[in-house]
Structure 1
Amino acid sequence: MSDLPKTMKALVAYAKGDYRLETDFPVPECGEDDIIIKTEACGICAGDLKCQHGAAMFWGDEKEAPWVKPPFIPGHEFLGHIVKLGANVNNFSLGERITADQIVPCGECRFCRSGRYWMCQPHSIFGFQGTNNGGMAEYVRYPKTSVISRVPEDLPLDKALLIEPYGCSKHAVDRAQIGNEDVVVISGAGTLGLGMITYARMKNPARLISLDMADNRLEKAKEFGADLTLNPGKEDVVQKVLDLTDGYGCDIYIEATGHPSSVIQGLKMIRKLGRFVEFSVFGEPTTADWSIIGDRKELDLLGSHLSPYCYPFVIENISNGNLKTDGVVSSMFPLEEWETAFKYASGKHGDFKVAIKF
């Protein structure tokens, strides 16, 4: 397919809270080094919701400059089939099913030159700037420096949609350096937390504990490999973990809720010399007693960002069933029903992952 239509359906963000369904948005042009895909589907991330609601980390405030560059098409959890190739692209073919890391590295900054492309200084991510529009549109352009992975044709769509979030889950768990004698607590059992649970299970820790305020999520975490599930809304989970570890606390705590209380909870339940991995995007500042990190416990405090070098492993292990996925993608909507899709993506109806399907 070389002759594409001139216009397409797309969800376009013009300002915080000003998202519009367009039916005649220009189809992206294919430069000599570009690839154009016809979008198969696009998952809705918590970051997409926070951006749509106007979070300052995206749109800026009196302290921070805006990061987004409207108008833009949201969405970074997408995949599709190649419908057009630039003249200089010779390692892909028309019709191939592909996806890409959410970041489009510049290839020139100190991070890119040293192979740490996920921390690229310009930091252009699909779905937040008009120069790299996202997957909530019929067609998407992959620029030359996109980090592209092939997706097997026989991988069901509900599983393929988890490549990006599970890639992020894998990176967070890798940062934790789990050993088989570790007691590991993963706080949050949404899509990302479940991805962490099923991957951490492959590390064979001594005990894998999942925390969440929703019992249906804890049930899924148990199904995906958690040894123990605890609900902080119903019991003193800090004391429970201390009791299970002779009063020492867990060896590793991975924070995947984005709520300040989960950070404080983790600092209380982690042992001295423990490893704390912070994954989440927060909608508000978190205040913690930093003397716990330093003087009292001498913790290793690690961040986790995006999914570098994770897609090949995730694609292979979703395909062979080592990474569990059943029931995670629970609802799909057409683009015309994007407002309903965003509401379902908030989790208020019990969903884990919601997607827009084309």
Structure 2
Amino acid sequence: MKKIPETMKALVAYGPGEYKLVTDFPTPDCGPDDIIIKTEGCGICAGDLKCQLGAARFWGDDIQPAYVEPPFIPGHEFLGTVVDKGENVTEYEIGDRLTADQIVPCGECEYCRTGRYWLCEPHNVFGFKNFLNGGMAEYVRYPKTAVLHRVPKGMPLLDALLVEPYGCSKHAVDRAEITNEDFVVISGAGSLGLGMIAYARMKNPAKLVALDILPERLEKAAEFGADVVMNPKGTDVAQKVLEMTGGYGCDVYIEATGHPSSVLQGLKMIRKQGRFIEFSVFAGETSADWSIIGDGKELELRGSQLSPYCFPFVIEHIMNGDLKTAGVVSKTFPLDEWEAAFDCATGKYGDFKIAITF
């Protein structure tokens, strides 16, 4: 076995906007219950961007405490090949190709003990803590309680990079409990929205509508299975949905943009007793007339976070072609070009998913 170097190249976050490429960061040690992977690639999430820009959700403010613990290596959408393992690790071998749920559950809290590990009370996620570094580095440590999954060696890297985000997409759609009688609207056709559209198509809803302000995203949404695509910039999408449903509104609205206007248009177009699924991470607060949820429409408002129990399904159905992936990973960059990668990941150039590869 090739000797693992003592230091590695890594992107390190020291503070809001203070991200630096370090060429001699210590390679993670392998404890008796740990696994070390050599990273193949790591996708850039909207959460990574908002963290880098200093969003209060991560760094704290007068209302909420800081979640991050710097210095840390960002990235939670990653995979790699096992190059070292501890003496107590028996399920995996050197050379296995692995990915992991982004959360590393404690295994001891009430949520973990009742099977709801993705809600783990300590809620430690790869790429935000200095003791749980992420995938924007040459090597990553999987600790004992990481939720690991084998990735087929025949799965192309650009597909494998979508396993984690598509897992999140699947969970959001599962939260919506879509039936074949539902009129479904998915707001946001970025990489996660596209994963939702691809999976929602498998549910065969009565109508599947995708919304986005970028024409190239709407084109991809139609390719991935949306029956109707609309751009809120040039269309009163809430009024259109009301017209399409005889004035009642959509049964399901999935919010996947992280923009306040998407929340407001969703509350306007959803029918009474509709299911509103909030998925996004927001950069700031959103204000709405909260009475719409109760006195106005008696809505079911459901959150969605992470990707519990989703990876095996996603891996299987990416491999068999049921979940479309073509073109979702728009560009890849080496770690040295992380600033250009983060810039493209904003979507301002029309890109979907951007990834760093090694």
Are 2:186 and 1:182 aligned? no
2:227 alignment partner in structure 1 = 227
Between 1:61-70 and 1:121-130, the stretch displaced more is 61-70
Structure 1 CA distance for aligned equivalents of residues 119 and 49 of structure 2: 23
Are 2:242 and 1:246 aligned? no
1:119 alignment partner in structure 2 = 119
Where 1:80 maps in the other structure, the secondary structure is strand
Mapped contact 1:2–1:84 kept (Cα < 8 A): no
1:164 alignment partner in structure 2 = 164
Are 2:195 and 1:195 aligned? yes
Structure 1 CA distance for aligned equivalents of residues 211 and 230 of structure 2: 5
Are 2:43 and 1:43 aligned? yes
Structure 1 CA distance for aligned equivalents of residues 117 and 39 of structure 2: 25
Question: What is the letter of the counterpart of residue 282 of structure 2?
Answer: F
Following superposition, the deviation at residue 4 of structure 1 comes to 1.2
Where 1:141 maps in the other structure, the secondary structure is strand
1:134 alignment partner in structure 2 = 134
2:96 alignment partner in structure 1 = 96
Following superposition, the deviation at residue 3 of structure 1 comes to 3.0
Structure 1 CA distance for aligned equivalents of residues 349 and 152 of structure 2: 31
After superposition, the CA RMSD in angstroms is 0.6
Mapped contact 1:197–1:224 kept (Cα < 8 A): yes
CA deviation string 1:172-226 (max 9, x = no partner) = 0000000000000000000010000000000000000000011110000000000
Structure 2 CA distance for aligned equivalents of residues 66 and 302 of structure 1: 24
Question: What is the letter of the counterpart of residue 210 of structure 2?
Answer: S
Are 2:78 and 1:85 aligned? no
Q: Which runs of 5+ in 2 are unaligned?
A: none
Structure 1 CA distance for aligned equivalents of residues 129 and 54 of structure 2: 15
Mapped contact 1:209–1:229 kept (Cα < 8 A): yes
Following superposition, the deviation at residue 2 of structure 1 comes to 6.3
Question: What is the letter of the counterpart of residue 265 of structure 2?
Answer: Q
Are 2:284 and 1:284 aligned? yes
CA deviation string 1:71-103 (max 9, x = no partner) = 000000000000001000001010010000000
Structure 2 CA distance for aligned equivalents of residues 107 and 207 of structure 1: 40
> 1:1-358 residue pairs with structure 2 within 5 A?
1=1, 3-358=3-358
Mapped contact 1:38–1:139 kept (Cα < 8 A): yes
Question: What is the letter of the counterpart of residue 279 of structure 2?
Answer: F
Count of matched residue positions in the alignment of Structure 1 and Structure 2? 358
Where 2:131 maps in the other structure, the secondary structure is coil
Would you identify which runs of 4 or more consecutive aligned residues in structure 1 move more than 6 Å? none
CA deviation string 1:140-170 (max 9, x = no partner) = 0000000000000010011000000000000
Among all aligned residue pairs of Structure 1 and Structure 2, give the percentage whose two residues are the same amino acid.
Answer: 71
